[in-house]
């Protein structure tokens, strides 16, 4: 495994130099502080989970265009209300043209409302739970979201964490290829062994480079992506 300084130099070479790489990194939001994450309403977590679930395997542009309709149809993602979604309300959503009428994904909204409601009962709020969960054990958080949430496995959960401002890496195809190239993981299977090895590498690179997990994963992707 190379030093992150070497990987960053490789990414800079592909993207047109250090200044261009810095500009690309600056185009995306940095992680929020623990204090700012704590202030986010649990309804916003449910909103983001829902957006990422509906975007998975579908046109992100279409979901974005319809999003105000989603907010209306799901009553601004009131966690307590959606956790106890009655059958008639579910049936109404299946006919609601303001949203994408996918029954399994609509059901996931209710399941994730229950998940967030349970976290709030256990930790004071779901936001407090996510805010204080250590970034050094992201794979543990990913496993928890996969087990206790609905359709939050794979990159869907990772993307939702990133968009909410939680410090995180995203195991995109380019990032996985970079990890294979650096002999961090053996293949592209997201086994417990590979995930654990990836977390160790990310933690080491964060310590030695001073960069966030957000920046590290994007630089890894740039180091194997298309040259500009």
CA atoms within 13 A on the CB side of 185: 23
Rounded to an integer, what distance in angstroms lies between the CA atom of residue 195 and that of residue 139?
A: 7
What's the pLDDT score for residue 169? 97
Taking only the tens place, the pLDDT of each residue in 44-89 is 999 999 999 999 999 999 999 999 999 999 999 999 999 999 999 9
Instruction: Let me know: does 112 contact 49? Beta carbons within 8 Å.
Output: yes
Taking only the tens place, the pLDDT of each residue in 177-205 is 999 999 999 999 999 999 999 999 999 99
What burial class does residue 227 get, using C-beta atoms within 10 Å of its C-beta: 0-12 exposed, 13-18 middle, 19+ buried? exposed
What values do phi and psi take at 201, rounded to 5?
A: -65, -45
Virtual torsion, Cα 115, 118, 119, 122, nearest 10 deg: -160
Work out the percent of the chain whose per-residue pLDDT is above 90.
Answer: 94
Domain 34-135 has CATH 3.90.1200.10: no
What values do phi and psi take at 90, rounded to 5?
A: -60, -45
Q: Give the dihedral sign, CA 197/200/204/209.
A: positive
DSSP for 182-210 reads TTSSSSS---HHHHHHHHHHHHHHHHHH-
Instruction: Let me know: does 44 contact 67? Beta carbons within 8 Å.
Output: no
29 — pLDDT class (breaks 50, 70, 90): low
What's the pLDDT score for residue 2? 85
Q: Across the chain, where does the E strand assignment appear?
A: none
How many other C-beta atoms are found inside a 10 Å radius of the C-beta of residue 48? 20
Instruction: Let me know: does 165 contact 185? Beta carbons within 8 Å.
Output: no
What values do phi and psi take at 112, rounded to 5?
A: -75, -25
Taking only the tens place, the pLDDT of each residue in 98-123 is 999 999 999 999 999 999 999 999 99
Domain assignments of the chain as residue spans, ordered by start: 4-31+169-224, 34-135
Q: Across 22-180, where does the E strand assignment appear?
A: none
């Amino acid at each position: 495994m190379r030093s992150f300084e070497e990987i960053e130099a490789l990414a800079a070479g592909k993207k047109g130099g250090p200044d261009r790489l810095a500009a690309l990194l600056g185009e995306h939001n940095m992680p929020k502080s623990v204090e700012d994450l704590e202030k986010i309403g649990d309804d916003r977590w449910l909103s983001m989970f829902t957006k990422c679930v509906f975007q998975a395997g579908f046109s992100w542009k279409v979901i974005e265009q319809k999003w105000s309709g989603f907010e209306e149809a799901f009553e601004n993602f009131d966690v307590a209300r959606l956790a106890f979604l009655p059958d008639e309300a579910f049936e109404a959503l299946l006919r609601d043209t303001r949203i994408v009428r996918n029954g399994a994904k609509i059901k996931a909204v209710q399941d994730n409302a229950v998940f967030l409601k349970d976290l709030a009962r256990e930790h004071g709020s779901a936001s407090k739970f996510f805010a204080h969960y250590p970034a050094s054990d992201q794979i543990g958080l990913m496993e928890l979201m996969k087990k206790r949430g609905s359709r939050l496995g794979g990159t869907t959960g990772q993307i939702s964490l990133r968009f909410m401002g939680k410090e995180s890496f995203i195991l995109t195809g380019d990032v996985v290829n970079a990890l294979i190239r650096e002999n961090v993981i053996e293949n592209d299977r997201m086994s417990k062994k590979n995930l654990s090895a990836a977390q160790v590498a990310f933690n080491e690179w964060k310590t030695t480079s001073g960069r966030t997990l957000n920046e590290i994963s994007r630089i890894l992707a740039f180091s194997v992506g298309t040259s500009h």
